[in-house]
Structure formats: C-alpha cells, structure tokens
C-alpha cells in the first residue's frame, strides 16, 4: 500500500483481556517500529524489527507485551492481561534501513482499557 496501515483504529477492551494490534508497513521497508503515546506523554519506543535480525525489544514495558513480524512484512503487537495503564495510542512506523526523513508512521490504534 501507499502508506503504513494500522488496525483497528480504535479498541476498547476490558481489563485483563488480551489484545492484538496489527501493522502493515510500506512494501519494501525493511525496518518496522512500534511506539506508544500515553496521554500527555511523548512517543515511547517499544520494539524495532530490522530485516532478519533479532528484534530490539528493549522498550517493551513488561512481559505482557510481545510482538512478531511475519515474513518481513506484517507485524502484530500483543498485549496480554491488559491493564488500565496500557491505555494509549499505539503507533507503528516503517522505513528503509535508514532514510534522512526517518520513518513513515501509521495513524495509530487508540487502545482504551476499561
């Protein structure tokens, strides 16, 4: 596609349930990133995939968070046993290995845990 596509755009879930967030990067982009923006906060790095290398998971806040990238394309971010503090906008971005314009972001998934 022409841009980075994320689904769903909005998700409301009950505390304790698991959620899956999906990201379709720009075709040909080798790098894929997940960030989140909590209310009033900046963009917090979560995880980074680059080609076939092992992902950089250093930003995942707890072991309830995991992500995978299948076939070097689509990525799924999974949050298990959601908590209210997980409520945020989850942003996915992709890029070539490196480009001076950085990343192309999707529109995000707004997750609300009630």
Binding site for another protein (CB under 8 A): 4, 31, 33, 35, 40-43, 45, 48, 50, 56, 91, 93, 95, 97-98, 100-108
Measured CA to CA in angstroms, residue 61 lies from 24, 52, 86 at distances of: 23, 23, 10
CB of 48 to another protein, least distance (A): 5
CB of 96 to another protein, least distance (A): 9
Q: Which of 23, 42, 35 is nearest to 61 (CA)?
A: 35
Question: Smaller CB distance to another protein: residue 7 or 107?
Answer: 107
CA dihedral 62, 64, 15, 17 (to 10 degrees): 170
Question: Smaller CB distance to another protein: residue 10 or 78?
Answer: 10
């Amino acid at each position: 596609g022409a841009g980075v596509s994320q689904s769903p755009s909005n998700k409301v879930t009950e505390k304790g349930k698991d959620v899956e967030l999906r990201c379709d990067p720009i075709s040909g982009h080798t790098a894929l990133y997940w960030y989140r923006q909590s209310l009033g906060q900046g963009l917090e790095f979560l995880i980074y995939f680059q080609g076939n290398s092992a992902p950089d998971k250093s930003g995942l806040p707890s072991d309830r968070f995991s992500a995978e990238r299948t076939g070097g394309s689509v990525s799924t971010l999974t949050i298990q046993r959601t908590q209210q503090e997980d409520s945020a906008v989850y942003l996915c971005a992709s890029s070539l290995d490196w480009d001076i314009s950085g990343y192309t972001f999707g529109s995000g998934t707004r997750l609300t845990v009630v």
